[in-house]
Structure 1
Amino acid sequence: MAIQKEIWTAAIVEGLFASNSFLSKAFNADEYVNQGKTVHIPQAGAPSGVEKNRTELPASVSKRNDTDVTFTLDEFTTNPIYIPHADTVELSYSKRESVLRNDKLKLADEVALSFIEAWSPAAGRCVETTGAEVDAYTPSATGKRKGLCKADVLTLMTKFNAENIPQEGRYLLLDAYMYSQLLADLTQSESMAFLACADAVNGIVGKLFSFNVMTRSAVALYDATKAKKAWSADGAATDLAAALAWHEQCVCRALGDVKAFESEGDPTYYGDVYSFLVRAGGRILRSDSKGVAAIVQGIPSAKA
């Protein structure tokens, strides 16, 4: 019987991961990553007040009481992965390079989702979608939801304007489905104006109603009561997808460098072992959560 030789291409199909360029659009607290476990953010107290045509002197003197909000840095680690010696000499592609690249991308993806959860506001800061009915698309979700439409972004702009949030520096992060729903709701001229503001270098796909729009495969997740939910939690039939809107000075990010651990030529494994670690944390900067909002899927009314 002839010896059959297996032929491998000199490449391997890699895992696919979401874009995380949105992380740069936040107050940067990276310098605090290696200074402790908890980060403190000062909160200015109320202003002293203004009186027109003051008649009583001396004016009363008051003291401003400042407070702070805190967040804890989390430690993210990959599971150690083993590369047998044979894989380093017998394969036509670099398995070590492929393994390390995929693990670092997976680590970055998990960290990004943790930031989205940390920046996701409570129910009082949620705006419901009001567009046409669409199928639920989060894991395990069933039934119908209301899609995203331009009127929802206008509602969001009005909310930010009423709270004196600066026009410059506003961002709206949409998942793949909500992005498509929004584009479908725009007229041709609106779509052209929206896309004309795209800035691929900074991850911006367009601009609408003062918001720089960005997109990734998945954004925020809420339950039926509009309580934010981690993507790692068990899915439910009533889960709601959500977009996230913020001003760049109203959310905080502290992200450390990725630290690599390696044991090459390990005598007990007869191969190489690798793993990665990164420290990261974040939160909404203001205690009143102004400058941050979520657009959560609305539920269509039951048909008679």
Structure 2
Amino acid sequence: MATLNKQIWIKQLMKNFYPDPSFLNFVKNFSALVEYDKLTMAEVGVDPNVLINNTTYPIDVLPRVDTPLEITLDLFETENTLVRRPEAIELAYDKLESVLYGHKQSLRTSTARKAAHAFAPANDDTYTPVIACTGEVDANGLKRLTVNDILALKRRYDDLDIPKEDRYLVLDPKHTEDLMLIDLKSFKDITDFKNGVPQRFAGFNMLEFSKNPKYDAATLVKSAFDSVTPGTAHSSFAFQKEEVMRADGTVHMYETKDDPKERATIVGFDKRFIALPIRNKGIGAIVSGS
């Protein structure tokens, strides 16, 4: 019995999997380090001290101790879909794209949502600033984002000597609206791309994502991923490109050919993926607390 050309289906599924505005296009890509759906890397040791006007020689020689790490990529699985006349579909890419659209969108959203949760700090700490919004209270009892809040995050980054290049702020759409309420003309295009480059404000490249993690509105502590009772406070999160990573593993397609009960072929997909902070530094968040 003939089977579907899975390479065609998988290639089309992964085509433009990370669209231009996706924040995952602006992180370190460690996919080349993945073997057997495991990421093999090392936790980098402490950077060397710098001596100023030193008069003592010889200068100490200190080894850098890197800790080997092996991380298993998360497994993301789609629910199955009935496909009528799949052989004809795979010969017409527009129809194939249409059939695959739901699977691609679901995998895109799930992987990005997991990455956003990983990049957002658990709570305010020395190297992971979490800034509380200071604007007026909205109809839901949460404070709106202000320009000063973004500047406060910038100051925390500056104080930590986070490189000024490649800083990104991923706005929750509600926070984008808050900025537009301040000045519609100045901020209506803040998350747009010009010539493939995101707009900048206060030293951050500005992006947007609608599935940012939730925080407890009172304590500003991040809710667990897929928490049954997540916090009520929405957030925007920030990162510096060299401090966060993603890794893609295998993509697999499943099929039941000519199912006699359904009179159709049933297809489903799974994808291996992970995204994490590299040193738990250079990441931050702005939260609309109560």
| TM-score relative to the length of structure 1 | 0.74
Aligned partners of 2:249, 2:37: CA distance in 1, in Å? 12
Q: SS at the partner of 2:105?
A: helix
Q: How has the CA–CA distance of structure 1 residues 96 and 45 changed in structure 2, closer, same or farther, with 3 Å as cutoff? A: closer
Match of 2:29 in 1: 28
Counterpart check, 1:292 vs 2:286: no
Match of 1:67 in 2: 67
RMSD after superposition: 3.1
Match of 2:53 in 1: 52
Match of 1:110 in 2: 110
Could you tell me which amino acid in structure 1 is paired with residue 67 of structure 2? T
Could you tell me which amino acid in structure 1 is paired with residue 132 of structure 2? E
Aligned partners of 1:110, 1:197: CA distance in 2, in Å? 21
Match of 1:139 in 2: none
Match of 2:135 in 1: 131
Q: Which has the larger Rg?
A: 1
**Stretches of structure 2 lacking an aligned partner (at least 5 in a row):** 1-17, 89-93
Match of 1:145 in 2: 142
Match of 1:4 in 2: none
Match of 2:193 in 1: 199
Aligned partners of 2:165, 2:137: CA distance in 1, in Å? 32
Q: How has the CA–CA distance of structure 1 residues 221 and 70 changed in structure 2, closer, same or farther, with 3 Å as cutoff? A: farther
Match of 1:159 in 2: 156
- Which residue of the other structure, out of 268, 274, 277, is the alignment partner of 2:270? 277
Q: How has the CA–CA distance of structure 1 residues 74 and 203 changed in structure 2, closer, same or farther, with 3 Å as cutoff? A: farther
Match of 1:229 in 2: 223
Aligned partners of 2:238, 2:69: CA distance in 1, in Å? 20
Give the total of aligned pairs.
261
Aligned partners of 2:251, 2:163: CA distance in 1, in Å? 33
| TM-score relative to the length of structure 2 | 0.78
Match of 1:185 in 2: 182
Q: How has the CA–CA distance of structure 1 residues 167 and 268 changed in structure 2, closer, same or farther, with 3 Å as cutoff? A: same
**Stretches of structure 1 lacking an aligned partner (at least 5 in a row):** 1-17, 89-93, 137-143, 300-304
Aligned partners of 2:212, 2:23: CA distance in 1, in Å? 11
Match of 2:247 in 1: 254
Could you tell me the percent identity over the aligned residues? 28
Aligned partners of 1:202, 1:171: CA distance in 2, in Å? 15
Aligned partners of 1:292, 1:274: CA distance in 2, in Å? 38
Aligned partners of 2:264, 2:191: CA distance in 1, in Å? 51
Could you tell me which amino acid in structure 1 is paired with residue 220 of structure 2? K
Q: SS at the partner of 1:173?
A: strand
Q: Residue 144 of structure 2 contacts residue 175 of structure 2 at CA under 8 Å; is this kept in 1?
A: yes
